[in-house]
Amino acid sequence: MQPSASYRCFWPIFLWIVPLLWGGCGSASNEAPLEEVSAGSTQTAEISYLGSTLWTGVNDIHLADGHAFCAYYNGLVVLSLADPSTPRLVSLLRLPGSALDLAVSEEIAYVADGHAGLQVVDLSNPAAPRKIGAYASAGYVTSVWVAGDFAYLIDREVGLIVLDVSDPATPTPVGRFTDLECPAAVAVREGVAYVAACGLSLLDVSDPADPREIGRLRLPVRVNRLLVRERLAYLATDTGIKVVNITDESQPIVSGSYNTPEPVLGLHVVGTHLYLANGKAGVTVLSLANPLAPGFAGSYPTASAANQITGDPAVSPYLYVADEVTRIDVLSVEEPALPREVGRHEIPSVVQDVAVLGDYAFVANFTDGLQVIDISDPNDPLPLNRIDTEGEALEVAIDGTTLYLADGSNGLLIFDLSDPLDPSPAGHFATHEPVQH
């Protein structure tokens, strides 16, 4: 949905409302302007984009060339790791969908961007990442892996899609495999694609134009991510870890497991320890002294929910944890079973969007619902009301006295603003996919 003209002109006010509400949080960056937009109303103004408090939700982190490239819901964030314990914001690039996963190859980022398919970004200048190409998939792209001249995508509605990216600006589909149950993630090694799909599917992709299944393991649980190490595949599921022996690729078998209280959303191996991004349980550390029987070794509590965890000894001696809503945690694992925080990169706030009607601002507050603020005195904005929503308040638009709220997993909510102090529910449209715009 398109925001109203009054909303577009409200940006200058919005940038000082947010610090007031969240105790002085500033904008995400004081770098040079990234883009310019003009607002159409009775007057037209040129507004330079200097930063934003709207960047939230870290889904993936890739380390390369002294930088951390991060997939946020809003797009791509580049952090400098010149001091590995203190990531510093370098740049932000908004993308049209929901950045869920990314792969980096030869200064090019390939971003799995949800309903917006694949986005291709030139990283040759980390301070000014530049979108150079895209592939519009039919469904919802959740995962990407790049090997050589090919990118392997997981589209939840389609399956595995193979793209020729020898020219990154023009990704070209060359093959696909559609017989997959609830596909979620992919990893490729030595001509075999390992697909997390209500279990594990192994596909021969030695001919990228003709992927062929060579083995399948069905599980009664959703698999979120996977990690392939030697002859074992570690599957991150909603109930814990499954260790799958893939020595015989035609007959993958479960050889071990470890149950967790929360879904496992990411995983990373350092030496003989497996580190799990364990949702609201934080980081769980497992010993792989016996790789077929992971055992509890330690843990680290995160501020919200651990979405992903990664590290690269060639880049830094630390692990980086995508702490869903609030920040990226930097952990030292010198003592493998006792992760210790040595730094962090804060996400400024959970404010997602704002619209204005007369003397009132309506703020989409992610998991805190919809907030109503009196702005009749611009020097003293006053919070008046807050409405809890069941989803994640992401974007808001106003048409007349009707407010439309994209509430993420809860679909589209409609409110009557006849009394702006007390928005009354006027409709609800449930959707199969999260509503974000």
pLDDT in tens, 371-390: 898 888 766 677 889 898 88
Give residue-wise pLDDT tens across range 122-141.
999 999 999 999 999 999 99
Give residue 326's pLDDT band: very low, low, confident or very high (50, 70, 90).
Answer: low
Which two three-digit tokens encode residue 67?
């930088």
pTM for the model: 0.72
CA angle 189, 154, 192 (to 5 degrees): 20
Question: Average per-residue pLDDT in the chain?
Answer: 85
Residue 376 vs residues 13, 83, 165, 176: alpha-carbon distances, Å: 12, 45, 53, 56
Give residue-wise pLDDT tens across range 60-111.
999 998 999 999 888 999 999 999 988 988 888 889 999 999 999 999 999 9
Residue 61 CB contacts under 8 Å (≥ 6 apart), including other chains: 68, 69, 70, 71, 308, 310, 320, 322, 328
Is there a shared CATH topology between the 5-52+349-429 domain and the 58-346 domain? no
Which residue would you say has higher pLDDT here, 156 or 378? 156
Q: What is the mean pLDDT of residues 18-31?
A: 37
Give residue 292's pLDDT band: very low, low, confident or very high (50, 70, 90).
Answer: very high
Of the candidates 382, 354, 350, the one whose C-alpha atom is nearest the C-alpha of residue 12 is 354
Residue with token string 């023009």: 170
pLDDT of residue 353: 79
DSSP state string for 94-140: E-SS---EEEEETTEEEEE-BTT-EEEEE-SSTTS-EEEEEE--SS-
The domain locations on the chain are: 5-52+349-429, 58-346
- Is a pLDDT exceeding 90 seen at residue 408? no
Q: What is the mean pLDDT of residues 354-359?
A: 87
pLDDT of residue 63: 94
Q: What is the mean pLDDT of residues 2-26?
A: 40
What whole-number distance in Å separates Cα of residue 253 and Cα of residue 244? 5
Q: For the chain, what is the radius of gyration of the CA atoms? A: 22
Residue 32 CB contacts under 8 Å (≥ 6 apart), including other chains: none
pLDDT of residue 437: 67
Give residue 351's pLDDT band: very low, low, confident or very high (50, 70, 90).
Answer: low
- Is a pLDDT exceeding 80 seen at residue 335? yes
- Is a pLDDT exceeding 60 seen at residue 267? yes
Least confident span in 6-10, 87-91, 309-313: 6-10
Which two three-digit tokens encode residue 183?
């596909």
CATH level 2 (architecture), domain 58-346: 7 Propeller (2.130)
How many other CB atoms are found less than 10 A from the CB of residue 182? 11
What whole-number distance in Å separates Cα of residue 264 and Cα of residue 259? 10
pLDDT of residue 286: 98
Which two three-digit tokens encode residue 142?
């959740």
Give residue 430's pLDDT band: very low, low, confident or very high (50, 70, 90).
Answer: confident
Instruction: Output the CATH code of domain 5-52+349-429.
Output: 2.40.128
CA angle 129, 130, 132 (to 5 degrees): 145
pLDDT of residue 74: 81
Residue 181, helix vs strand vs coil? coil
DSSP H or E segment with residue 210: none
- Is a pLDDT exceeding 50 seen at residue 363? yes
